[in-house]
Amino acid sequence: MSDLPLPKPVGHHDQALDVQHDTDPAHDHGVARRIPHLGHALLFFALTIACFFGVAIVLFLAFHRTVFSNNDVKLYVSGASQLLGYVLALAVSFPLFPLLWQRSFLDGIHWTWRQARLHWWQLLALGFALSGLAQVGEHVVEHFVKLPKETEILSLFRNPVSAWVTTIFGSLFVPVYEEIGFRGFLLPAVATAYDWLSMERTPAAVQRWQQTTDQTRGAWIFSSIVTSALFVSIHGPQLHWSVGALTVLYLPSLVFCYVRVRFRSVAAAGLVHIAYDSLIFLEICISTGAFRHLERLGN
């Protein structure tokens, strides 16, 4: 058995943020409940997939006469399925998970809006800077690896109406949903699993596990690496699995994870992500004259 000291949790123990364990003996719930864990994360993503396919089936049946013969209709139905599927999944998640956690949904995922509100301008500046660096990185990578000119997102810019809808949802709603899924559910879930598997089976280690919900630094690092790879992989079809484009996307994901851990706030990571995506859509908007000259996208 190793005599090395137990790893210290990241940061200090903040009672206001420890929503999973009550430190008041009169209201103590017993063993610390680490939420979300992997089961919760899998349930959330399974729910998302089910809602997406459920909405897709309904829309494809509603437009079955044109969806298979008209590529534009097929594309719009696919995009609407994703957006409406996200909305439906959140509508189900907000009342469902509090039943499992005995906590509100936002408390359970450590939304913590206060941190985002206190540092909003720094977080937005970080997101804009990160987006600018990523776009510069794409130009550098393009010299070595061929990047796709036509992606799934750009294909939604067929007319000004679809361009504006894509920009609004892609800049605001989609980043928030991705942060809830990856940094709210998956990041802490994988970190918890890492700590459990790597924990020494000693009385002191078990006692610490039962008394606190803080993850170790090593767990956060491991989880950030793994979940960022998963985050990049879901964008693979959108980027035609271009290695260069996916590599450029990996670094921002690591930054989103760092912000989530540093501020203990999914809302803070969400602000950075919103700024990151917004700058990309803003560049498209400017280059096409507020979407009046969408033919320029192919140039």
Residue 66 lies in a domain: no
| Residue 225 lies in domain | 106-298
Could you tell me which of 42, 182, 139 has the C-alpha nearest to residue 100?
Answer: 42
* Beta bridge partner(s), residue 216: 9
**Predicted structure pTM score:** 0.86
Enter the tokens of residue 128: 């804009």
Residue 32 lies in a domain: no
Residue 27 lies in a domain: no
Residue 9 DSSP code = B
Q: How many domains does the chain have?
A: 1
Q: What is the pLDDT of residues 64-94, one digit of tens each?
A: 888 777 777 777 888 888 889 999 999 999 9
Q: What is the pLDDT of residues 288-297, one digit of tens each?
A: 998 888 888 7
Phi and psi at residue 15, in whole multiples of 5°? Answer: -60, -35
Q: How much is the average pLDDT of 242-261?
A: 90
Q: What is the pLDDT of residues 45-60, one digit of tens each?
A: 999 999 999 999 999 8
**pLDDT-derived band at 229, boundaries 50, 70, 90:** very high
Residue 270 lies in a domain: yes
The per-residue pLDDT for 146 is: 64
Asked which of 1-5, 36-40, 179-183, 238-242 is least confident by mean pLDDT, the reply is 1-5
The per-residue pLDDT for 214 is: 85
Query: Is residue 7 predicted with pLDDT exceeding 60?
Result: no
**pLDDT-derived band at 147, boundaries 50, 70, 90:** low
Residue 148 lies in a domain: yes
The per-residue pLDDT for 21 is: 43
The per-residue pLDDT for 150 is: 62
Q: What is the pLDDT of residues 128-144, one digit of tens each?
A: 999 999 988 877 776 66
The per-residue pLDDT for 64 is: 80
Q: Position 87: which residue type?
A: V
Residue 85 lies in a domain: no
Residue 158 DSSP code = S
Residue 78 lies in a domain: no
Q: What is the pLDDT of residues 158-212, one digit of tens each?
A: 788 888 988 999 999 999 999 999 999 999 999 999 999 999 888 888 888 888 8
Query: Is residue 268 predicted with pLDDT exceeding 50?
Result: yes
Return the H-helix or E-strand segment holding 4.
none
Residue 241 vs residue 176, higher pLDDT: 176
Count of all residues that appear for the chain in the document: 299
Average model confidence (pLDDT) across the chain: 85
The per-residue pLDDT for 5 is: 47
Query: Cβ(217)–Cβ(7) under 8 Å?
Result: yes
**pLDDT-derived band at 97, boundaries 50, 70, 90:** very high
Residue 48 lies in a domain: no
In three-state form (DSSP H/G/I as H, E/B as E, the rest C), the secondary structure along 220-234 is: HHHHHHHHHHHHHHH
**pLDDT-derived band at 251, boundaries 50, 70, 90:** very high
175 Cβ contact list (under 8 Å, min separation 6)? 270, 273, 274, 276, 277
